Amino acid sequence: MALLEVRDLQVHFRTATSVNRAVDGLSFDINAGEALAIVGESGCGKSVTSMALLRLLPEPPGKVAGQILFRGQDLMKASERRMRQLRGDEISMIFQEPMTSLNPVFTIGQQIGESVRLHENASRTVARNRAIEMLQLVGIPSPEQRVDEYPHQLSGGMRQRAMIAIALACNPALLVADEPTTALDVTIQAQILDLMQDLRRKVGSAVMLITHDLGVVAEFAERVLVMYAGRKVEEASVTDLFRTPRHPYTQGLLNALPKLGSSLGDGAAVRLAEIPGRVPDMSKPLTGCAFAERCPMAQDACRRIEPALEQKADRHFAACHFAARGAFVA
């Protein structure tokens, strides 16, 4: 049995005039100790999915349906008391913006120690010592000093490390990381990814990494799920997805990556590829394939019939009428 099983997850938001289908029938699994990346452009439903897993979306205006099974327990039916026991203990989350996620009126040590005191019934002294230990573990220098500092006294990279320390303080079985390297320079980004990999090996946590950066996916994850317009359009191992992407949207994302040395030739500079068009309006009913209006392979059937998610190769799934089947080629 997988550590986390999500079945037909639907997240809708009611507005004054319509219903926005942010996530529309998403299903996936995460095994113990595994790193799964969820990728897609802004607005595809990645962050909403992560918030739904921990039941952090207010209802109304949100409406969440489907099954979220954690170690066999359906979190959709769990009491709020049970969810408070799980959050920060067995399931932790690194939020996208550390400056807005950290409380400005509490010290870093107080915020790390809060979960230790709550979930492990530890004393203030034990919680403080754990906070110093976690700050040292995530590579923050002078942890005995930093533990008494406030978020505004830390740099962006240090605040992100502090968020990771909070998330890992109770050794969670599942870590949900929502754009953990957003707005960080490439040097700090590499350090954060190395840190998460190192801590994953030490603690044994499964990680659900949410990102739009395929370079981060290649560096960190073992399996990847591609979302578009609230739906899963492709799922495969990282190696297979990068080697032979089956869905036109995934191919477009990979083609849009800058190529090292592409501007150094004698000829004209190579123009960066782009996916034409815009993401469909999620407040309107979608007929057929959501990607059809932007897809170079689209035919009339694509606009009329929604493609089913089918296995195209060994453990490689894609939702496309014309995605190639068969063995992978190097």
Of 173, 153, 166, 162, give the one whose Cα is nearest residue 32. Answer: 173
Task: Let me know: does 228 contact 253? Beta carbons within 8 Å.
Answer: no
Tell me the average pLDDT of the chain.
Answer: 86
The pLDDT value given to residue 261: 63
Q: Is residue 210 part of a domain?
A: yes
Query: What is d(CA 27, CA 202) in angstroms, rounded to the nearest whole number?
Result: 29
Q: Is residue 256 part of a domain?
A: no
Q: Is residue 157 part of a domain?
A: yes
CATH number of the domain encompassing residue 167 = 3.40.50.300
Q: Is residue 276 part of a domain?
A: no
Q: Is residue 202 part of a domain?
A: yes
Q: Comparing 297 with 225, which gets the higher pLDDT?
A: 225
The pLDDT value given to residue 262: 61
Domain of 69, in residue numbers = 4-221
The CB density around residue 283, as the number of other CB atoms within 10 Å, is: 15
Query: What is d(CA 327, CA 273) in angstroms, rounded to the nearest whole number?
Result: 27
Query: What is d(CA 127, CA 116) in angstroms, rounded to the nearest whole number?
Result: 6
The pLDDT value given to residue 289: 92
Q: Is residue 260 part of a domain?
A: no
Q: Is the pLDDT of residue 70 over 90?
A: yes
Q: Please state the three-class secondary structure of 204-231 as a single string.
A: CCEEEEEECCHHHHHHHCCEEEEEECCE
User: pTM score, two decimals?
Assistant: 0.88
Task: Give the chain's domain count.
Answer: 1
Q: Is residue 234 part of a domain?
A: no
**Tens of pLDDT, residues 141-200:** 899 999 999 999 988 888 888 888 888 888 889 999 998 877 677 777 787 788 788 878
- Of 34-38, 88-92, 178-182, give the range with the top mean pLDDT: 34-38
Q: Is residue 24 part of a domain?
A: yes
Task: Let me know: does 317 contact 241? Beta carbons within 8 Å.
Answer: no
The pLDDT value given to residue 264: 60
**Tens of pLDDT, residues 289-311:** 999 999 988 888 899 999 999 99
The CB density around residue 49, as the number of other CB atoms within 10 Å, is: 25
Q: How many helices (H) and strands (E) does the chain have?
A: 12, 12
